[in-house]
Amino acid sequence: MSAFLIKNVETLLTMDDARRVLKSVDIRVRDGVIAEIGTGLRGEEPVVEARGTVVTPGLVNTHHHLYQNLTRAVPGGQDALLFGWLQTLYPIWARMGPAHLQVSTQLGLAELALSGCSLTSDHLYLFPNGGRLDDTIHAAAEVGLRFHPTRGAMSIGESDGGLPPDSLVEREADILDDMIRVVDAFHDASEGSMCRVGLAPCSPFSVSRELMRDTAVLARDKGVMLHTHLAENGEDVAYSEAQFGCRPGQYAEDLGWTGEDVWHAHCVKLDGQEIDLFARTRTGVAHCPCSNCRLGSGIAPVRQMRDAGVKVGLGVDGSASNDIANMWEETRQAMLLQRVANGADAMSAYEALEMATRGGADVLGRVDCGRIAVGKRADLAIWDVSGLASSGSWDPAALVLAGPRQVRDLFVEGRQVVRDGAVTTLDLPGVIRRHGEMTRALANGEANGG
């Protein structure tokens, strides 16, 4: 469908520069771009009827580990803190292979799409049994979401004092070589790109100082973004202070890991100086409230970050530490946690949605996405507010407070990925069956489908 009209939108939350909320409007889409917004638009194009709906930009997920949806609710990891949780799961992940990466990506992206997500990053930092970043990129192209995969890495195994088993770490020279390969093969920097690649050593406690620095140099040479975990919980900060003699923010700055081309996941334990550093350098943050709660990591100082001018987007994190990958639930949780920490007026439903759309797009360097305006990409989520979830709401646009948790329709680059609550681009029941088989095999100690 190269051109179509979305007619009779009840409320349009544009997230444009003026943050306009428009009533009773139509949207014309042409060649993957928003061509016109107005009332009473006419034309020969096919029509998508949107009476009784709220339309938002597609939601943007700034942090995920898609492969982890094969290990939801694993016994032994359900009630553990971050480091213990990782040590429970690493041996299981070590039995995965290329097919696991492909199927988990398909299922995870479908799950995100049904929650209204049109653009997602993914942080893949382990490549067991021949798995490659390519496996996730090809799967994402099939599903049709806009994809920002990051080539992660771990290089310090148990024998060198690290957390991961030695079987999951790589030689740093090999890591850098493969980073070059995947960027050259898949990164598309053009406006409207469906795939941009980032570079993402897993964390300061799983790679060397030299790899962190070399990756930053490489990323800037290639013109791609940098991503890692930072200051996720108290253990993380204590490790940084003990091993590096400084807090995580200073460690990042010393190694070139601040700037507009960098975003860090979690940042639950940033202090005031680190927040000021991130604001001054335009460093982004992926806030993952549900995972932070699940792992008992704490409440990230998002109110303080945003007030200081830090770019903040939302992330679902991996499904082994969140259990679901629903961007709508993440948005509501982000709002609620800031209210718990700072009072009921600390964050509105509209501000939470702004983080989930425009905010996330800005963190990923995608100013062509995350807002509905003429000339921007046609990534559009249509929410039916005529049903049970919204009944009685005086403000249908306050979807985070009272609204559906699943999208009715989702368009990405003007292509319909969800129609009437169903994914259109793949056989989802078949993917779920295959995913279930793989999960059972992993639970039985096997390596199925690698």
Does residue 116 sit in the same domain as residue 29? no
Does residue 104 sit in the same domain as residue 192? yes
User: Is 446 domain-assigned?
Assistant: no
Of the three residues 334, 363, 392, the one that is the final residue of a domain is: 363
Task: Tell me the sheet residues that pair with 410.
Answer: 381, 418
Q: What is the CATH number for 9?
A: 2.30.40.10
- The 3-class SS string of 386-410 reads CCHHHCCCCCCCCCCCCCCCCCCEE
**In the prediction, which pLDDT does 448 show?**
47
For the entire predicted model, the pTM comes to 0.97
Task: Name the helix (H) or strand (E) containing 218.
Answer: helix 209-222
Asked whether 60 and 412 are in contact (CB, 8 A), the reply is no
Torsion of CA 124, 127, 133, 134, to 10 degrees: -150
User: Is 429 domain-assigned?
Assistant: no
Does residue 33 sit in the same domain as residue 121? no
Does residue 151 sit in the same domain as residue 166? yes
| 298-to-155, 266, 285, 387 alpha-carbon distances in Å | 28, 10, 15, 35
- Please report where in the chains the tokens 């940033």 appear, as a residue: 270
Does residue 194 sit in the same domain as residue 322? yes
Largest interatomic CA distance in the chain: 68
User: Residues near 108 by Cβ (< 8 Å), separated by ≥ 6?
Assistant: 64, 66, 69, 319, 325
| 443-to-87, 93, 438 alpha-carbon distances in Å | 16, 11, 9
Q: What is the pLDDT of residues 237-265, one digit of tens each?
A: 998 999 999 999 999 999 999 999 999 99
| CB atoms closer than 10 angstroms to residue 260 | 14
What's the residue count for the chain? 450
User: Is 39 domain-assigned?
Assistant: yes
Burial status of residue 11 (CB atoms within 10 A of its CB: 0-12, 13-18, 19 or more): buried
User: Is 146 domain-assigned?
Assistant: yes
User: Is 447 domain-assigned?
Assistant: no
User: Kindly report the CA angle at 189 between 14 and 1, in degrees rounded to 5?
Assistant: 55
Does residue 70 sit in the same domain as residue 116? yes
Q: What is the CATH number for 295?
A: 3.20.20.140
Mean pLDDT by 10 residues, the chain (450 residues): 92 97 98 98 96 98 98 91 88 96 98 98 97 98 98 95 90 98 98 98 92 98 98 91 94 97 98 98 98 94 98 96 93 98 97 98 98 98 96 91 96 98 98 98 76
User: Is 368 domain-assigned?
Assistant: no
User: Is 277 domain-assigned?
Assistant: yes
**In the prediction, which pLDDT does 205 show?**
82
Does residue 221 sit in the same domain as residue 288? yes
Does residue 47 sit in the same domain as residue 74? no
Does residue 121 sit in the same domain as residue 268? yes
Asked whether 169 and 154 are in contact (CB, 8 A), the reply is yes
Does residue 188 sit in the same domain as residue 105? yes
**In the prediction, which pLDDT does 1 show?**
54
Does residue 404 sit in the same domain as residue 336? no
Counting the structural domains of the chain, the total is 2
Of the three residues 363, 396, 412, the one that is the final residue of a domain is: 363
User: Is 442 domain-assigned?
Assistant: no
Does residue 316 sit in the same domain as residue 173? yes
Range of the domain at 83: 59-363
Distance CA 323, CA 294 (A): 9
